[in-house]
Amino acid sequence: MRQTSYNAGYVVGITLVATIGGLLFGYDTAVISGAEKSIEAFLILPLGLSSFVHGATVSSALVGCIIGGIISGFLSSRLGRKKSLLIAAALFFFSAIGSAFPESLLLPYGQSSGGLLVLFNIYRIIGGVGVGLASAVCPMYIGEIAPARIRGRLVSLNQFAIIFGMLVVYFVNWAIANGQAIEWINSIGWRYMFLSEAIPAALFGTLVCFVPETPRYLALVGRGDKALAVLKKINNSAEKAQSILDEIRQTVSGSARGKLFSYGKIVIIIGILLSVFQQFVGINVALYYAPRIFESMGAAKDASMLQTIVMGLVNVIFTVVAILTVDKWGRKPLLIVGSAGMALGMFVISALSYFNIIGISTLVFIIIYTASFMMSWGPICWVLIAEIFPLRIRGQAVAIAVAAQWAANYLISSTYPAMMEFSGALTYGFYGLMAVLSALFVWKMIPETKGKTLEEMERHWKR
């Protein structure tokens, strides 16, 4: 049996704690899928508001995600990766309670009003800040802890946790709504959906207290002794730990923090385009509006929830495919294959929509589309964002990339209802076109990072 050159139990244990942040990311963004029609019935329709307001309310957490992405660079650089995760956990917990009971002793319970709509959106935005922060810091934390030869798999676990969080909340939402009258779901059931998030948020905050700060951040701020202690635990070798620390110190010699374009503009542009393409292919439309999409195909509400769970299971399975292959096949091949699968799925769905064909074929191609995303752009985008940026600019560069991702996410998700009213065929055709362009972008611009240390990637950009 081949011996590992690192403490596998320790590294995996730390990684699993960090991935609870990813689980909460998925939980918070997908909880709205089961509640959005109830929110429409409880807050939007009684006030006579438009479909645009409905779309903006469903997507309001994404405003917070943009904010969280923007501030992640400052927090992760000034406070550290670990403290940033603790802040994210607190935001998740506060948002879960506030979104469930937005009246907050300020307004009469259960009465629709403009003020209640505003408060609900504020609490969702707070949760979104937690999502934006976790989406940037969790893969960064794992990437800075993980040994190079398994870094792709470990960072991909964060995407698995995101998808698993979505799957869990699909089950939770279905369990809450199953067998209940629609009136109860629209008045009370949706509150339980949001409140359920408080449990994993409390668990995450507790466990993060017991994990170490990353050795690369500790070295960055001049705490080499503590960085060495963590590296010894990770690598089972004082000699190897010292060698890694020496290599890290070489990359941060002179100044702990560099100017954003210290390594040229291309690495920043690649990070931004990775994030934008991950959203412009339309994946979050499928995630946020899944029950409504299936209902539009003729499924009843309970059946649409079950079909959403089936889709969630497919997502989990194909994320595992990415985890098992990312460090064998590399990042670029998976991304290009995934783009091709997404393009096929969306172009066929566009054609089916144009000819008003509704049935099992539509479900099949939605699954082809989402499976292609989950084995490629879902996890690999986060892997690359955690890998490609040099240490001295990593905090601010990741913040820019993640903020761009959430801005693109908000644009795509909030405009979906209005776009569908105009033309379903053109909407899905647009997402298919973006998938084609994403493949060309990967082929021309993305460097392969498989098996390279973070410090080797830094030397790549220096050249």
Could you tell me where the DSSP H helices lie in 40-60? 51-58
| Rounded CA separation 116/112 (Å) | 6
Quick one: pLDDT at residue 313?
Answer: 81
pLDDT score for 60: 85
pLDDT of 110 over the 80 cut: no
Give pLDDT, residue 198.
Answer: 95
Give residues with Cβ within 8 angstroms of 165, minimum separation 6: 22, 23, 24, 25, 26, 27, 28, 30, 200
Which amino acid, one-letter code, is at 202? A
pLDDT for res 191: 93
What average pLDDT is seen over the chain? 86
d(CA 38, CA 250): 56
Contact 385/329 with Cβ under 8 angstroms?
no
Q: What is the pLDDT of residue 303?
A: 58
pLDDT in tens, 1-58: 344 577 888 999 999 999 999 999 889 888 887 788 888 888 888 887 777 788 788 8
Instruction: Return the pLDDT at 288.
Output: 58
- Whether 1 is covered by a domain: the verdict is no
Residue 2 lies in a domain: no
Q: Please state, in angstroms and rounded to a whole number, the distance separating the CA atoms of residues 284 and 162.
A: 12
Which of residues 345 and 236 earns the better pLDDT score? 345
The predicted model gives 299-324 an average pLDDT of 74
Residue pLDDT, tens place only, 174-233 = 899 888 888 898 889 999 999 999 999 999 999 999 999 999 899 888 898 999 999 999
- Closest to 190 in 3D by CA, of 80, 43, 64, 313: 43
Cα separation of 98 and 95, whole Å?
5
- Domain for residue 64, yes or no? yes
Question: Do 109 and 353 touch, CB atoms closer than 8 A?
Answer: no
Please report the pLDDT score of residue 20 as a whole number.
Answer: 95
Q: What are phi and psi of 326, to 5 degrees?
A: -60, -35
289 lies in a domain? Answer: yes
- The pLDDT score that the predictor gives to residue 302 is 58
List, for residues 236-262, the tens digit of each pLDDT value: 888 888 988 888 887 765 555 567 777
pLDDT given for residue 276 in this prediction: 94
What would the mean pLDDT of 305-318 be, rounded to a whole number? 75
pTM of the model: 0.82
91 falls within a domain = yes
User: Is the per-residue pLDDT at 299 higher than 60?
Assistant: no
The DSSP 8-state label assigned to residue 376 in this structure reads T
**Lowest-confidence segment of 21-35, 226-240, 308-322, 400-414 by average pLDDT:** 308-322
Instruction: Check: CB of residue 355 under 8 Å from CB of residue 295.
Output: no
Q: Determine the distance from the C-alpha atom of residue 368 to the mean position of all C-alpha atoms in its chain, rounded to a whole number.
A: 20
| Torsion angle of C-alpha atoms 325, 327, 329, 330, degrees rounded to 10 | 130
- 135 within domain boundaries: yes
**What's the total number of domains in the chain?**
1
Angstrom distance (rounded) from CA 342 to CA 195: 34
What is the reported pLDDT for 101?
92
Whether residue 108 has pLDDT greater than 70: yes
* pLDDT for residue 308 is more than 70: no
Q: Are 11 and 146 in contact (CB under 8 A)?
A: yes
pLDDT of residue 18: 95
| Residue 92 near residue 138 (C-beta atoms within 8 A) | no
Tokens of 333: 């091949």
- Whole domain around residue 264: which residue ranges? 8-462
Backbone angles phi, psi at 255, to 5 degrees: -130, 140
Average pLDDT for 359-387? 87
Tens of pLDDT, residue by residue over 75-103, are: 998 999 999 999 999 999 999 999 999 98
Q: CATH number of the domain at 192, please.
A: 1.20.1250.20
DSSP 150: G
- In-domain check, residue 310: yes
Q: Is residue 428 part of a domain?
A: yes
Determine what percent of the chain falls in helix, strand and coil, rounding each to the nearest 5.
80, 0, 20
pLDDT digits (tens, 9 = 90+) for 115-174: 889 999 999 999 999 999 998 999 999 999 988 888 888 988 988 898 889 888 888 988
- The CA–CA distances, whole Å, from 108 to 64, 100, 112, 120, 136 equal 26, 14, 9, 14, 37
Helix axes 8-39, 51-58, angle to 10 degrees: 160
pLDDT at residue number 1: 36
Q: Check residue 139 and give its pLDDT.
A: 92
The DSSP secondary-structure symbol of 41 reads I
Asked if residues 343 and 434 have their Cβ atoms less than 8 Å apart, the reply is no
